[in-house]
Amino acid sequence: MKHKDNGGVTFFLNSTKNIFSVFFSLGKRAKKTKAFYLISFIPVVMALVIKFGQILSERSDIGGIYIFTNIIMAFYLQFLILILALFFGTSVCSEELEGKTLTYLTTRPISKSAIILGKYTSYTALAILMTAAGVVCSFLILNVNSLLDFSLYKILLRDLAVLSLGLICYTAFFTFIGTFLKRSIMFGLMFSFGWENVIQYFPGTTQRFAIVHYLKSLLPSTSGGRFSFLLFRLEPSSPGTAIAMLFLITGVFLAFACLLFSLKEYILED
């Protein structure tokens, strides 16, 4: 077999695409993904409970879109995307080391950065699909009475975009953590439910050190109400800055992850 010209950008993108297709289909049917499918559909059950509760109690003081934006989004933003990103992000590198399958990838004619980026994109896509399926179903259930009000779909699209950005950014961060630390889970849990939960309520510049700050900056400020705690003490950045920061964080951590993965020596333990 002849050496192929494999230094170009096209080659790199093709390598990434190939890794993506392998791990997207593997991830889709993996046993461990099933539990996350289940968890991401719990809000759908919750939406059903809420809707039936409203119908049975003949109460309609809280609108479907209000519940969707403030409750379902809270669940996804503060909990689910963190859990999904933590699992899938750390899986990019750690699962190859734990399963000792890294050799099968690193002895192929593809760059190590393509392995990281390919796996990252496949797992992020999976997480976005999982989340989007639950979000769309919950939205439809909660707004079943006003499905013809097309202005609502703008909100759905905006919320989906925020959650997807969140997944893109968090997964990149955890991908880096997974390539850097051997036991990444404890750090990830501390970061997700410690740092991110606390630092966002700090005043001034401090809250800008949390990823969730930029995500919340993309949500409209609610006019008080029962669930306004979500945007409590938020001193939002402008949407442009927030999006730029989220992409910057993603880019930086992915670049670090690729660099580290290329340079670091991973010893598969017996």
Partner 1 sequence: MTAVIETQNLSKWYRNVLGLSDVTLKIESGITGILGPNGAGKSTFLKLITGQIKPNIGNVTVKGEKIRNNYSLFSIIGFCPEQDSFYEEMTGWQFITSLLKLYFFSTFEIETKAQKALEIVELIKDKDRVIRSYSRGMRQRLKFAQAIAHEPEIFILDEPLNGLDPLGRRKIIRLIKTYKSEGKTIIVSSHVLPEIEAMTKKIILIHQGKIFAQGDIHYIRDLIEAHPHIISIKCSNPRELASRFIREDYVLKVHFGPTQDGLLVETNNRDKFFSLLPSLFVESNIQVEEITSPDDNLQAVFDYLIGK
Partner 2 sequence: MTIKEKGYTHWDGEFKDGKFPWWPITRYGIKLTFKKKFFKFFFFMTLVPAVVYLVGIYISERLEDFSFMVRESTVFLQINPAYFKSYFTNEGLLFMIVIILVFAGAGLISDDLKYNSLQLYFSRPLKKKDYFIGKAAVIVFFLFIVTLIPGLVFIIMKIVFSGSFKFFASYPWLVLSVIAYSILVTAFFAFYSLFLSSIGKNRRYVAILIFGLYFFTDIIYEILYGIFKSPYFSLLSFKINLQQVGAFIFNQKTQYAVSWVYSLLIIIGICILSALVLKKKIRGVEIVK
Binding site for partner 2 (CB under 8 A): 31-32, 35, 39, 42, 46, 49-50, 53, 62, 67, 71, 74-75, 78-79, 83, 86-87, 90-91, 94-95, 98, 183-186, 189, 193, 226-227
In the complex with partner 2, the residue whose CB is nearer, 93 or 242, is: 93
How many whole angstroms separate alpha carbon 165 and alpha carbon 154? Answer: 16
Which residues here bind partner 1, judged by CB under 8 A?
A: 1-4, 6-7, 14-15, 18-19, 21-22, 25-26, 29-31, 99-101, 103-112, 262, 265, 267-268, 270
In the complex with partner 2, the residue whose CB is nearer, 50 or 242, is: 50
In the complex with partner 2, the residue whose CB is nearer, 51 or 112, is: 51
How many whole angstroms separate alpha carbon 215 and alpha carbon 195? Answer: 15
In the complex with partner 2, the residue whose CB is nearer, 71 or 211, is: 71
Least distance to partner 2, CB of residue 90, Å: 6
- The one of partner 1, partner 2, none whose footprint includes residue 227, by CB under 5 to 8 A per kind, is partner 2
- The one of partner 1, partner 2, none whose footprint includes residue 22, by CB under 5 to 8 A per kind, is partner 1
